[in-house]
Structure 1
Amino acid sequence: RALGVPEGVAEIGSDRNLWLECNADLLNGVSFAKGCYVGQENTARMNWRAKVNRRLVMLPDGTVERRQVDGLDPALMSGWMRDGLAEKA
């Protein structure tokens, strides 16, 4: 949590968020070069079409929210998130 990474079902949710919305791509938690896995088609499509519209963000008060990427205040992003999103732009 200190690094701004949501953890566990309580923060990430079990059915509320898509894998890329949980920042898996920015944290090297998904490989687009490997074989099949559950949700592969949707995840790959979101990545290649750059359609990740929302991301989980740890807020200063310790809560986790899913926020729109466009217009997201950089002050709310951890360093790894700012760097990762800049590389994708």
Structure 2
Amino acid sequence: MSINRIGFSLSVVLVVSYILCLVFDQLVPQYSMHEMWAPLLPGFSVTLAGIAIGFVELIAYGWYVAVLYVFAHRYSPVG
């Protein structure tokens, strides 16, 4: 199990979900989801800088989860 594959793929999934949510917010503003992103992504706001901060944080979260998952998978006593 490669940490690079897991890290990149998880980061891509998170960023694509983020982009889809941002597009959805623009298409259907009455069902806006930016209130959900704010507590999960410190520094997030609906500005270019805030969106960029969200991208960076999601990539970091993807790698963080990948490190935890691969470590747990490699060193778990089961298997």
Fold conserved (TM > 0.5)?
no
Structure possessing the higher radius of gyration over alpha carbons: 2
Q: Which has the higher contact order (CA 8 A, sep 6+)?
A: 2
Higher helix share: 2
TM-score scaled by structure 1? 0.28
* Structure with greater strand share of residues: 1
